[in-house]
């Protein structure tokens, strides 16, 4: 917007807000944008996706996840649909210390058992993503075709994520160690079932289409 202010006195150079005293001109694309319009719209869609996700699963915000606790707000109970929460057992004994994830509805009312789902070891969740990512690598052609189709999607966020996935997988190799950056880039949520399966939902509309087997002996 040009001429937001105007010169009141040419001698003193005093200026004032232009409330119609002088013409104003709106110039489009007068200089390069910090981000392009498509990126801006994709970000708005991502913010809306996160709000909808938090509302659906009863959490305040999705940003609870951190580098030290990447699964916060992203592990869903396959039995009742509630969120899994992180618990530390034997926290005072380092040798017996154990981090597990348990459905928040299991003991919603103190002393009264609610959801019948079983808990799962923290380490299993890390392995689930490694297995999932490696399954994508092994079936690269299949996923590339699916993501190529998404490049024509009306939803800009889906197009952006599909392009990002293609760029990553094109150069990716089998994952030997958990990569938190790739985890945050790919995963929307993990649904844990009592039969030992963990369905990993990706951020490009592949929720519920495939899953990764969790070793049953590690699910108590």
pLDDT above 60: residue 220: no
Residue 6 in any domain: the answer is yes
pLDDT class for 70, splitting at 50, 70, 90?
Answer: very high
Note the pLDDT of residue 26: 92
**21-52: burial string, b at 16+ Cβ within 10 Å, e else:** eeeeeeeeeeeeeeeeeeeeebeebeeeeeee
Note the pLDDT of residue 63: 62
**Residues 149 and 198 grouped into a single domain:** yes
Residue 118 in any domain: the answer is no
**Residues 213 and 177 grouped into a single domain:** yes
**Residues 128 and 154 grouped into a single domain:** yes
pLDDT class for 101, splitting at 50, 70, 90?
Answer: very high
**Residues 6 and 63 grouped into a single domain:** no
**Residues 71 and 13 grouped into a single domain:** no
Which long-range contacts (C-beta less than 8 Å, at least 24 apart) are formed by 158-162? 158/204, 158/205, 159/42, 160/38, 160/39, 160/42, 161/203, 161/204, 162/204
Residue 97 in any domain: the answer is no
pLDDT tens per residue, range 177-192: 999 999 999 999 999 8
Residue 108 in any domain: the answer is no
Quote the percentage of the chain above a pLDDT of 70.
90
Residue 98 in any domain: the answer is no
pLDDT tens per residue, range 107-154: 877 767 778 888 889 998 998 889 889 988 998 998 999 999 999 989
**Residues 15 and 43 grouped into a single domain:** no
Domain count, the chain: 2
**Residues 167 and 197 grouped into a single domain:** yes
pLDDT class for 205, splitting at 50, 70, 90?
Answer: low
**Residues 10 and 73 grouped into a single domain:** no
Domain holding 46, by residue range, is 38-83+123-218
Rounded mean pLDDT, 59-69: 75
**Residues 19 and 128 grouped into a single domain:** no
**Residues 76 and 5 grouped into a single domain:** no
> Which DSSP string do the residues of the chain spell out, in sequence order?
-B-SEEEEETTTTEEEE-SSSS--B--TTSS--SS-HHHHHHHHHHHHHHHHHHHHHT-S-GGG--SS-TTTTTEEETTT-PBEEEEEESTT-TTT-EEEEEETTTTSBTTB----PPPEEHHHHHHHHHHHHHHHHHTHHHHHHHHHHHTT-S-HHHHHHHHHHHHHHHH----SS--HHHHHHHEEEEEE-TTSEEEEEESSS-TTS--EEPPGGGB-
Note the pLDDT of residue 4: 93
Residue 1 in any domain: the answer is yes
**Residues 78 and 7 grouped into a single domain:** no
Instruction: Please tell me the distance from the alpha carbon of residue 43 to that of residue 39, in angstroms, as a whole number.
Output: 6
Choice between 219 and 214, residue whose per-residue pLDDT is larger: 214
**Residues 73 and 132 grouped into a single domain:** yes
pLDDT tens per residue, range 8-45: 888 888 999 999 899 999 998 888 888 888 889 999 99
Residue 112 in any domain: the answer is no
Residue 109 in any domain: the answer is no
């Amino acid at each position: 917007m040009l001429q937001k202010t105007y010169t009141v006195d040419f001698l003193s150079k005093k200026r004032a807000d232009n409330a119609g005293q002088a013409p104003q001109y709106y110039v489009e694309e007068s200089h390069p944008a910090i981000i392009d319009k498509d990126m801006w719209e994709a970000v708005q869609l991502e913010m809306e996706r996160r709000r909808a996700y938090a509302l659906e699963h009863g959490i305040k915000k999705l940003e609870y996840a951190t580098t030290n606790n990447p699964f916060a707000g992203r592990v869903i109970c396959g039995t009742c649909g509630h969120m899994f929460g992180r618990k530390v057992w034997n926290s005072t004994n380092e040798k017996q210390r154990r981090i597990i994830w348990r459905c928040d509805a299991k003991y919603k009312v103190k002393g009264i058992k609610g959801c019948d789902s079983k808990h799962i070891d923290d380490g299993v969740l890390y392995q689930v993503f490694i297995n999932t990512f490696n399954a994508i690598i092994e079936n690269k052609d299949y996923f590339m075709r699916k993501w190529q189709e998404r490049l024509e999607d009306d939803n800009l966020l889906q197009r952006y994520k599909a392009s990002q996935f293609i760029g990553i997988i094109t150069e990716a190799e089998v994952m030997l160690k958990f990569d938190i950056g790739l985890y945050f880039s790919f995963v929307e949520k993990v649904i844990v079932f009592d039969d030992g399966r963990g369905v990993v939902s990706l951020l490009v509309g592949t929720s519920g289409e495939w899953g990764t087997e969790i070793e049953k002996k590690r699910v108590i």
